[in-house]
Amino acid sequence: MKDRISLIDKSAEEFSQRRQCLLLGVNWSTVHYKPVGIRPRDREMMNLLDKEYTKYPFYGVRKMKKFLRTKGYKVGNDHVRTLLRKIGLFAVFAKPNLSKPHSEHRIYPYLLKDVTIERPNQVWSADITYVRLSQGFAYLVAVIDWFSRYVLSWRLSNTLESSFCVEAVEEAIRNYGCPEIFNTDQGSQFTSEEFIGSLTATGRNILISMDGKGRAHDNIFVERLWRSVKYECVYLNGYQSIPEARDGLENYFEFYNKERFHQALDYKTPCEVYDGENGGYKTITEIANSCCRSNVVEFQSVAVV
């Protein structure tokens, strides 16, 4: 539809706009439609929902409604559900029909049951989260190595189209090679032909895994990352725009990878663990040069130059 609308020449004298719409099979009213922006009240509620979800990701629609009412907002279940879906939030607990994938997209089986994660590049994962801005919001996708918690790449977008997810994956593979297994949820961005094609391209022997129904904690490593990103970066800085948020996130992920100590990693940084048990770490460029390969079967530590 968007492609056909772009063909309409509003300055043409030979054919009226109505005639052009008729020939292209486009409703005339859609040509002049201007999307209605998010109301300030809804934006305020979305920001509150995001912060409450980060603290209590198991809250569903009813509890979120109760939470908003304690803040003085008169809102019902349907409106809360709409706002949660708009920012891509779903309660984290096992229940029937946990995920609603695109009906025409292929779903891959979950491959990580009883699998021990014991080396970098064994399992990568990707997920999307909502990032609030003072005058709107954006979506953040990140690719993370499960073993080291290393953030391999990320992208910020103002839409939920799959293209920014594909860009993040392509950058990660370009800089660090291919993982053995790539795990995501069943969201339409990750089941799209464009995204799957980036994992199954010639020379990339990547096994694709997707979280199954009723498996609420399959992507828990990324959920922990989002909690850190929001409390340690987004909420503290109150970004005004996407360019400002992008600059801030770039600095944060540099800190997260190279300076932030993780208790689960025996107080090492993700970069130290990803680069091996040698007590040092490289720059991203050096890591990319040493780790870029078509397929990773077994990680080998590389000495620091």
Task: Give pLDDT, residue 181.
Answer: 96
Task: Give pLDDT, residue 2.
Answer: 55
Domain match, 198 and 269 both: yes
4 belongs to a structural domain: no
Domain match, 281 and 198 both: yes
Domain match, 80 and 193 both: no
Domain stops at, among 49, 71, 93: 93
Q: Helices 40-55 and 77-86: crossing angle, nearest 10°?
A: 80
220: which 2 tokens? 């828990």
Domain match, 130 and 87 both: no
Domain range for 263 is: 123-291
Domain match, 85 and 204 both: no
49 belongs to a structural domain: yes
43 belongs to a structural domain: yes
Tally of CB atoms within 10 A around 140: 22
Task: Give pLDDT, residue 167.
Answer: 96
How buried is residue 13: exposed, middle or buried, by Cβ count under 10 Å (0-12/13-18/19+)? Answer: exposed
In degrees and rounded to multiples of 5, residue 268 shows phi and psi of: -100, 165
The rounded distance, in Å, linking the Cα atoms of 178 and 176 is 7
20 belongs to a structural domain: no
- Give yes or no for a contact between 221 and 273, defined as CB atoms under 8 angstroms apart: no
Question: Which one, of 47, 252, 246, lies nearest residue 135 by Cα?
Answer: 47
Number of H helices, E strands in the chain: 14, 5
| 248-287 pLDDT tens trace | 999 999 999 999 999 889 999 999 999 884 334 343 334 3
Domain match, 186 and 64 both: no
Which segments of the chain are extended strands (E)?
123-133, 136-145, 151-157, 181-184, 207-210
Provide, rounded to the nearest whole percent, the portion of the chain with pLDDT above 90: 47
| 189-231 pLDDT tens trace | 999 999 999 999 988 999 999 986 545 556 678 888 998 999 9
230 belongs to a structural domain: yes
Domain match, 42 and 187 both: no
Residues 6+ apart with CB under 8 A from 241: 133, 135
Domain match, 73 and 133 both: no
Domain match, 85 and 222 both: no
* Residue found by looking up tokens 């918690």 in the block: 149
Domain match, 277 and 148 both: yes
174 belongs to a structural domain: yes
103 belongs to a structural domain: no
Q: What is the pLDDT along the chain (305 residues), one digit of tens a residue?
A: 556 556 667 667 677 877 777 777 777 666 666 666 678 888 889 989 988 888 887 788 999 999 999 999 999 999 999 988 888 777 655 443 334 444 566 889 999 988 899 999 999 999 999 898 887 789 999 999 999 999 999 999 988 889 999 999 999 999 999 999 999 988 889 999 999 999 999 889 999 999 865 455 566 788 889 989 999 999 889 899 999 999 999 999 999 999 999 988 999 999 999 988 433 434 333 433 443 333 333 333 333 33
End-to-end CA, the chain: 54
* Residue 131 belongs to domain with CATH number: 3.30.420.10
| Residue at 260: amino acid letter | R
Task: Give pLDDT, residue 91.
Answer: 67
Tally of CB atoms within 10 A around 222: 24
Please tell me the total count of domains within the chain.
2
108 belongs to a structural domain: no
DSSP state of 233: I
Domain stops at, among 51, 77, 93: 93
Domain match, 168 and 67 both: no
Domain match, 229 and 89 both: no
Looking at the whole model, is its pTM more than 0.75? no
Question: Which one, of 159, 145, 119, 167, lies nearest residue 225 by Cα?
Answer: 145
